[in-house]
């Protein structure tokens, strides 16, 4: 399922004068910023996700989208070595050319050995047209075996620590959406993480909850936390509005940034309208959204549709 584009009345709190009134115009400066955990860096509370660059017909079109996101005021750009077989990084490199120092730029590697991870970083820096990334992340950590491999002698951690020491990345982190227990274990196993990325959405509490298991560990350590799967890969939009989904994620304690895989300018403009006057949800509002997310037409109908999580 792909996320739809919403505007106007879909967003609570936006004044409208008629059923088909045009949405309020979005401009640079509308996006709030936050201090990204222990990094101390201020970034936009919403980020452009690199995974959806493949919705564009070619690299020039994707690069034009990236440039437009920058012009709209996005300062956080999420990417990964494997997205769109490397073309996402290439689009970022072209789209952000001339503005590198004005953004927080990330990428990721799925490699588990130091040698392979180092090779990935070389390629990423070349395609991103930069000599450093702000954040380099170990991508898609799923199992205890992953943890053992990356922390072992000759494991990826050696490359990550060396890159940080050499200034080729400013911060290091890890990502995943498979098993919250593994996230918690890795946060405990290594005490120098700067950031972590995990699913945070209104239905997460019902099955293998990252909010219950991994997020508290990140909060305890002051780790900068990025929320993904904010819209539940669009499944949540059966029952919740995109505004509700985004407000929910950003209302959770310890969440600093919501990664939005916006494939169109309209989608990101909708996200910006949501956050520019953002107020955290009350506990009553959060409870009501959690209930709606897992009943009726929501994500859950007796079995989980969170296909990205570990199966029980």
Task: Give me the CATH number covering residue 239.
Answer: 3.20.20.100
Q: Cβ distance 222 to 37 under 8 Å?
A: yes
Task: Provide the domain count of the chain.
Answer: 1
Which pLDDT value is given to residue 248?
Answer: 98
Q: Is 15 within a domain?
A: no
* Rounded (5°) CA angle 95-265-258: 85
Q: Is 103 within a domain?
A: yes
Q: Cβ distance 281 to 246 under 8 Å?
A: no
Query: What does the pLDDT average to over 287-300?
Result: 83
Q: Is 309 within a domain?
A: no
Structure tokens that stand for 64 in this block: 């034009």
Q: What percent of the chain has pLDDT over 70?
A: 89
d(CA 198, CA 287): 20
Comparing C-alpha atoms, which of 175, 107, 103, 115 is closest to residue 146? Answer: 175
List CB contacts of 196: < 8 A, sequence separation 6 or more: 173, 174, 175, 183, 187, 214, 218, 223, 224, 225, 226
Q: Is 312 within a domain?
A: no
pLDDT tens profile 100-130: 999 999 999 999 999 999 999 999 999 999 9
- Strand 255-260 with 195-199, pairing: unpaired
d(CA 236, CA 295): 11
Query: What does the pLDDT average to over 268-283?
Result: 94
Buried residues in 264-303 as b, exposed as e (16+ CB within 10 A): ebebbbbbbbbbbebeebeeeebeebbebbbeeebbbeee
Which pLDDT value is given to residue 16?
Answer: 33
Which pLDDT value is given to residue 301?
Answer: 55
Which pLDDT value is given to residue 300?
Answer: 67
pLDDT exceeds 70 at position 305: yes
Query: What does the pLDDT average to over 177-194?
Result: 98
pLDDT tens profile 126-179: 999 999 999 999 999 999 999 999 999 999 999 999 999 999 999 999 999 999
Which pLDDT value is given to residue 299?
Answer: 67
Measured between alpha carbons, how far is residue 209 from residues 177, 182, 216, 258, 296 in Å?
10, 12, 11, 17, 20
Q: How far is CA 20 from the centre of its chain?
A: 32
Which pLDDT value is given to residue 4?
Answer: 41
Residue 240 has what DSSP assignment? S
Which pLDDT value is given to residue 304?
Answer: 66
- Strand 46-49 with 224-228, pairing: unpaired
pLDDT exceeds 80 at position 78: yes
Q: Is 32 within a domain?
A: no
More confident residue, 10 or 214: 214
Question: How many Cα neighbours within 13 Å face the side chain of 88?
Answer: 23
Q: Is 21 within a domain?
A: no
Q: Is 216 within a domain?
A: yes
Q: Is 17 within a domain?
A: no
Query: What does the pLDDT average to over 196-215?
Result: 96
Query: What does the pLDDT average to over 229-241?
Result: 93
- How much is the mean pLDDT over the chain? 91
Confidence of residue 312 (pLDDT cuts 50, 70, 90): confident
Full domain range(s) for residue 261: 39-293
> What's the start-to-end Cα distance of the chain, in Å?
23
| Least reliable range by pLDDT among 76-90, 156-170, 260-274 | 260-274
């Amino acid at each position: 399922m792909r996320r739809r584009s919403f505007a106007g009345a879909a967003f609570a709190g936006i004044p409208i004068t008629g059923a088909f009134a045009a949405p309020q115009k979005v401009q640079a400066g509308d996006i709030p910023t936050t201090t990204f955990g222990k990094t101390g860096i201020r970034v936009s509370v919403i980020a452009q996700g690199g995974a959806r660059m493949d919705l564009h017909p070619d690299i020039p079109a994707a690069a034009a989208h990236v440039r437009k996101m920058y012009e709209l005021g996005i300062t956080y750009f999420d990417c990964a070595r494997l997205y769109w077989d490397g073309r996402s990084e290439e689009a970022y490199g072209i789209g952000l050319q001339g503005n590198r120092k004005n953004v927080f730029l990330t990428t990721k590697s799925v490699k588990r050995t130091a040698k392979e991870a180092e090779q990935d970083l070389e390629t990423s820096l070349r395609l991103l047209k930069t000599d450093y990334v702000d954040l380099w992340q170990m991508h898609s950590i799923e199992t205890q075996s992953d943890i053992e491999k990356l922390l072992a002698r000759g494991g990826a951690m050696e490359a990550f620590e060396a890159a940080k020491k050499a200034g080729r990345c400013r911060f290091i982190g890890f990502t995943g959406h498979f098993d919250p227990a593994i996230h918690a274990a890795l946060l405990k196993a290594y005490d120098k993480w700067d950031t972590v990325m995990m699913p945070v959405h209104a239905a997460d509490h019902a099955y293998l909850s990252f909010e219950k298991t991994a997020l508290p560990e990140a909060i305890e350590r002051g780790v900068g936390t990025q929320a993904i799967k904010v819209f539940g890969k669009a499944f949540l939009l059966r029952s919740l509005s995109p505004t509700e989904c985004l407000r929910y994620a950003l209302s959770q304690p310890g969440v600093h940034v919501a990664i939005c895989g916006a494939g169109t300018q309209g989608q990101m403009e909708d996200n910006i309208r949501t956050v520019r006057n953002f107020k955290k949800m009350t506990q009553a509002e959060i409870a009501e959204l959690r209930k709606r997310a897992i009943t009726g037409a929501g994500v859950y109908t007796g079995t989980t549709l969170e296909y990205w999580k570990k199966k029980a």
